[in-house]
Amino acid sequence: MPEAILEPDLPIIDPHHHLWDLRPLIDSFPQPRHPFIEALTLAPYYTFNELLADTQSGHNVIGTVFMECGAFYRSGADQAYKPVGEVEYVNGVAAQGASGLYGNYRPCAGIIGHADMTLGDGAKGVLEALVAAGNGRFKGIRHQGAWDADPDVLGPPFHATEGLYHSDAFRAGFKHLGAMGLTFDAWVVEPQLDDVIDLARAFPDQPIVLDHCGTPLGIGSYKGKLPERFDTWRAKIRTLAECQNVSVKLGGLAMAFCMMPDKGPAAGIGSEVLAGMWRPYIETCIDAFGPSRAMFESNFPVDRWGADYRTLWNAFKRLAAGASAGEKRALFAGTAARVYGVEHLLETA
């Protein structure tokens, strides 16, 4: 039986989900499959209907922000401009939601795309094309920097270079985000948090969002080491929070990389157990950043590895049970609305 929805009237803006069709790719990954690839097999096809079914399954999700994932790229375009196709596609999904056929629900009200920052000044033209394709909904980019020396940690889909965020080429492109009023989502794994700290200090006026609580690792050579690495992770989160231009997404802990739980895919664990598992990480982040710079995220469908959508948000609501009404409004909707410029979603909430 699915869990009963906790606090069903609490408005939620889900600031991090994907849309994709991975069916042509899944079978191309080598066997035995990395746990992350196993997680993807739970939702090889995730577009408007699947998103609608999850977000409207009981919680009061009033809108969402799409996060780039390398899907629906333009075929035949120059390499730099291929990601424009993803924003074009997602803008169509947003337009479908904005038709009013689904009530006040507004999926993909904000769109985070991808542009290769290592293009330097060449990134500016790509950013301009993304802005045009988003029709007012394009809010920023993510150029993921996740890397680890152990290839078993991230598996075959991820190929960021070591120290990407430090490189002169990357920063030459990165500087254009601020000039255009765009946000930057940073995805790294826990041993790389210093990279984000350095980037945030070098660009103190650039809004940066740290994805997935900084991705604590419990896989590959880090298997079983979450407890011993917790203090190091916590110290770096606190240091990063000193940078006032950085916000944090509270979620991603159900990913296979974190192994919380380690029984995926679709572990079937209840929200009370999940909340207990995630509490040290979520509470540390809220403590460090405060509700005004922290936002709960689904990271769906990736986090389906550990929880269905209803259970995931129930776990978050359990974790926020001691917060005031104002703090809950920030954590579940307000911070996302401000950071991604979708405050209009709150007008009817």
Q: What distance, in Å, lies between the first and last C-alpha atoms of the chain?
A: 29
pTM of the model: 0.97
Residue 266: pLDDT above 80? Answer: no
Residue 29: pLDDT above 90? Answer: no
| Domain chopping of the chain, boundaries | 11-343
* pLDDT tens sequence across 71-102: 999 999 999 999 999 999 999 999 999 999 99
pLDDT, residue 348, reads: 78
Residue 223: pLDDT above 80? Answer: yes
Residue 203: pLDDT above 90? Answer: yes
Burial per residue of 34-71, b for 16 or more beta-carbon CB atoms within 10 angstroms, e otherwise: bbbbbbbeebeebebeebbebbeebbbbbbbbbbbbeb
> Pick from 213, 282, 209, 211: which is nearest to 247 by CA?
209
Neighbouring residues of 20: CB distance < 8 A, sequence distance ≥ 6: 45, 46, 47, 69, 70, 71, 72
Mean pLDDT for the chain?
96
How confident is the model over 172-187, as a mean pLDDT? 98
Which CATH number describes the domain made up of 11-343? 3.20.20.140
Exposure of 207 in the CB half-sphere (CA atoms within 13 A): 16
Residue 107: pLDDT above 90? Answer: yes
